[in-house]
């Protein structure tokens, strides 16, 4: 079993200098525990042995992780390309930005949280819009063109075109859109700040059309069923290569470790690990047995279930997967898939 085609994520911390209402890390209460450098070193070697070629460094907020530079260098020493996902605030400090760029990282995505300074403060609880934009500029000066990542949530929708025009006017052209999805908080599902699947499809349709009209460079991660989009637009989206669909959980094509070495289904499950490095597996061979075992296959089968009988005969199922199954833990699919 080769895992070289798989994605890998290292969630190096849960601390964050923002407090976004829709954050998937809420259930961790933004724990102060960091991934130890020793564990990071072991996990990087482990990923190398699995044949993983690319790894995303994420949090929490990874730029406040004390060993970030060392982990970036460890990944590169093991011939694994590191990707950094950040809110970008710390890059207002040019010296810090230079330190990260000098570590050799080439791929940085900055998650943008608002259309202007007032909305940024409202949504993140921090007055930081100018810092984030200045941080973006600093990275550009240092030879890195970050991708801007925008999570489509209820509070942003009324001002999304304003935000996109502001980015366009600032010369920021590479944009990735993520759909906001429900998160697990304790033993329940929270959809705070998240549109329902039909509303989300409508918002994404409008954003997609707006970006196409402006001939902008973008891609969009779709987490709702494709049948919720108008047929003509759906066909265009499928053939455009501008959208990404289906989930790594359903296919078993991604591994995510948290700061304690727990293997998570995804970062929306911070308190529900599938296993633990050093306990359930410790090397490539034992992991392959664990990964293909009955317990994980049973879990995947749950995530692969058709949310509706109509999905069983849908010709687009392999491109769609029914959307994020967390949606259907919170919303009744019968109200949306008709």
Burial class (CB in 10 A: 0-12, 13-18, 19+), 292: exposed
Confidence grade of residue 7 (pLDDT, cut at 50, 70, 90): confident
Q: Which one, of 97, 93, 68, 96, lies nearest residue 83 by Cα?
A: 68
The pair phi, psi for residue 190, each rounded to 5°, is: -115, 130
Sheet bearing 81-86, strands edge to edge: 243-244, 217-221, 174-179, 147-152, 107-112, 81-86, 54-58, 7-11, 254-257, 262-264, 275-276
The whole-number average pLDDT for the span 171-176 is 86
Is residue 2 situated within a structural domain?
no
- Is 50 exceeded by the pLDDT of residue 2? no
Is residue 16 situated within a structural domain?
yes
Structural tokens at position 78: 């093991």
Is residue 112 situated within a structural domain?
yes
Is residue 136 situated within a structural domain?
yes
Domain that holds residue 245: 7-335
Is residue 221 situated within a structural domain?
yes
**CA 265 and chain centroid, separation:** 13
Q: Give the whole-number percent of the chain exceeding pLDDT 70.
A: 99
**CA 34 and chain centroid, separation:** 19
pLDDT in the model for residue 5: 67
pLDDT in the model for residue 3: 52
Q: Which one, of 74, 21, 31, lies nearest residue 259 by Cα?
A: 31
Mean pLDDT of all residues belonging to the chain: 92
Confidence grade of residue 156 (pLDDT, cut at 50, 70, 90): very high
For residue range 219-260, what is the model confidence (pLDDT) as tens digits? 999 999 999 999 999 999 989 888 998 888 877 788 999 999
The whole-number average pLDDT for the span 265-271 is 87
Is residue 298 situated within a structural domain?
yes
**Contacting residues for 296 by C-beta, under 8 A, at least 6 apart:** 252, 274, 290
- Is 90 exceeded by the pLDDT of residue 138? yes
For residue range 271-318, what is the model confidence (pLDDT) as tens digits? 889 999 999 999 999 999 999 999 998 988 888 889 999 999 998 898
Is residue 120 situated within a structural domain?
yes
Per DSSP, what are the bridge partners of residue 29?
A: none
156 vs 248: which has the higher pLDDT:
156
Number of structural domains in the chain: 1
Is residue 31 situated within a structural domain?
yes
Q: Residue 78 sits in a domain of what CATH number?
A: 3.20.20.70
pTM: 0.94
Sign of the CA dihedral 250, 225, 243, 72?
Answer: negative
Confidence grade of residue 319 (pLDDT, cut at 50, 70, 90): confident
Q: Which one, of 155, 141, 145, lies nearest residue 20 by Cα?
A: 155
Confidence grade of residue 217 (pLDDT, cut at 50, 70, 90): confident
- Three-state secondary-structure class, residue 280: coil
């Amino acid at each position: 079993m080769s895992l070289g085609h798989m994605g890998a994520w290292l969630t190096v911390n849960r601390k964050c200098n923002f407090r976004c209402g829709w954050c998937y890390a809420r259930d961790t209460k933004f724990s102060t525990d960091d991934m130890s450098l020793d564990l990071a070193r072991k996990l990087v070697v482990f990923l190398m042995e699995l044949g993983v070629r690319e790894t995303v460094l994420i949090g929490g907020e990874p730029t406040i992780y004390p060993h970030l530079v060392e982990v970036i260098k460890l990944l590169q020493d093991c011939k694994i390309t590191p990707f950094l996902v950040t809110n970008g605030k710390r890059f207002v400090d040019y010296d810090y930005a230079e330190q990260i760029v000098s570590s050799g990282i080439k791929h940085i995505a900055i998650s943008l949280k608002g259309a202007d300074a007032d909305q940024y403060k409202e949504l993140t609880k921090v007055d930081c819009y100018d810092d984030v934009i200045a941080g973006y500029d600093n990275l550009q000066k240092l030879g890195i063109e970050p991708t801007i990542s925008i999570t489509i949530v209820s509070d942003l929708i009324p001002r999304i075109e304003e935000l996109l025009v502001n980015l366009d006017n600032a010369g920021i052209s590479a944009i990735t859109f993520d759909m906001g999805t429900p998160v697990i908080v304790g033993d329940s599902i929270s959809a705070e700040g998240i549109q329902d699947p039909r509303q989300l499809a409508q918002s994404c349709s409008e954003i997609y059309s707006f970006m196409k009209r402006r001939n902008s460079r973008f891609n969009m991660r779709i987490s709702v069923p494709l049948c919720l989009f108008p047929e003509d637009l759906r066909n265009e989206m499928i053939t455009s290569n501008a959208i990404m669909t289906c989930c790594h959980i359903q296919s078993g094509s991604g591994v995510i470790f948290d700061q304690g070495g727990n293997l998570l289904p995804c970062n929306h499950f911070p308190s529900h690990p599938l296993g633990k490095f050093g306990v359930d597996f410790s090397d490539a061979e034992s992991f392959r047995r664990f990964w293909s075992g009955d317990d994980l296959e049973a879990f995947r089968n749950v995530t692969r279930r058709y949310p509706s009988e109509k999905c069983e005969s849908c010709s687009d199922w392999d491109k769609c997967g029914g959307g994020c199954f967390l949606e259907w833990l919170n919303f009744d699919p019968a109200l949306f898939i008709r």
